Amino acid sequence: MLRQVSATRYIEPLRAGGSVPGVVEADDLGTYVVKFTGSAQGRKALVAEVIVGELARALGLRFPELVLVDFDPAIGAHEPHQEVQDLLRASAGLNLGMDYLSGARDFTPEVAETFPVDPLEAGRIIWLDALTVNVDRTTHSSNLMIWPTLGVAPARLWLIDHGAALVFHHRWDASEPDKAYDFRRHALGGHTPDTRAADAELAPKVTEELLRAITAEVPDAWLADEPGFATPDEAREAYVGYLLARARASAAWLPTDFPTREQLAAEDADRAAKTRRGRPNWLKQVPDLHGRPAVEHDGSVHLG
């Protein structure tokens, strides 16, 4: 089971993400990035963090330790921003903490040009994201960190932030385990990922026993109000069944086609050029508020 700690000091909010996690010290002397139950993303994001993060670890990928953090909003009373105060007050009780990787740096597109990534490691990460339908590890938002950046140990890729994964749990009734998704703009797509080798290695490891052990880590309270399920255990069974079926259907969704950086840049440039050319035809005929016809000129619309 995930270790449980108590927060002893609220250090600062992190505003890079929409959930506004906070850096917190705990009674085990550890420092954690805490995602709060009171955030706009809600408890489903925390469920995804636990399931995908622990699955990543079980498959041999680098992912910081997760802990359950008992949080008393009183320790953040010094926080000056009202929106953060509201978040903290709405998050009393159990929240989710991720070990803080001090000094880590983001895996940005600029860093990606020079940082060596093994094709099989790239394939493993993409395979995990495709399995768990993680739509938030793109060239513009990698949710990958390089750590350590100093010291004798070599710098390695670490996975973070899986709250946007498991998109199927937002619409259980419309979920198809063999559905393919567009991973062309994955953050590691330009590193010649060997997804076929990753599939052969990882798919057999995603067993019912493993998934049951991982979903058991999710607190009952985060599953208690899941629509369509009578109990937290019934919700856990749904996660197990879906992910197991998806792993067995990997041939249907395995990403194998990744454009080069140059091809992506050309697509971006073409998209920007189309935007600059003006409105689409169906928007050009905008009526005048006084009933006079719209007049077109050089692709733009002027009210006559």
Q: Model-level pTM?
A: 0.88
Q: Could you tell me the CA-to-CA distances from 66 to 8, 54, 56, 69, 150 in Å, in that order?
A: 17, 8, 12, 9, 23
Q: Are 299 and 277 in contact (CB under 8 A)?
A: yes
Spatial separation of the C-alpha atoms in residues 112 and 257, rounded to whole Å: 19
List the chain pLDDT tens, one digit each, 304 residues: 899 999 999 999 998 767 899 999 999 999 999 999 999 999 999 999 999 999 999 999 999 999 999 999 999 999 999 999 999 999 999 999 999 999 999 999 999 999 999 999 999 999 999 999 999 999 989 999 999 987 778 999 999 999 999 999 999 878 899 999 999 999 999 999 999 999 999 999 999 999 999 999 999 999 998 889 999 999 999 999 999 999 999 999 999 999 887 888 888 888 888 877 765 555 445 444 444 444 443 333 333 3
Q: Are 99 and 64 in contact (CB under 8 A)?
A: yes
Max CA pair span of the chain: 73
* Domain ranges, ordered by start, for the chain: 3-258, 263-303
How high is the pLDDT of residue 153? 82
Q: Residue 148, by phi and psi: left (phi above 0), alpha (psi -120 to 50) or beta?
A: beta
CB atoms within 10 A of CB 285: 11
- pLDDT at residue 64, rounded to an integer: 98
Confidence at residue 297, expressed as pLDDT on a 0 to 100 scale: 36
pLDDT for residue 290:
40
Six-digit token pair at 155? Answer: 């710098």
> 14: Cβ–Cβ under 8 A, 6 or more apart, which residues?
20, 21, 22, 23, 33
**104 φ/ψ angles, rounded to the nearest 5 degrees:** -65, 155
* Confidence at residue 282, expressed as pLDDT on a 0 to 100 scale: 54
- Per DSSP, what are the bridge partners of residue 153? none
In this predicted structure, what is the pLDDT of residue 281?
59
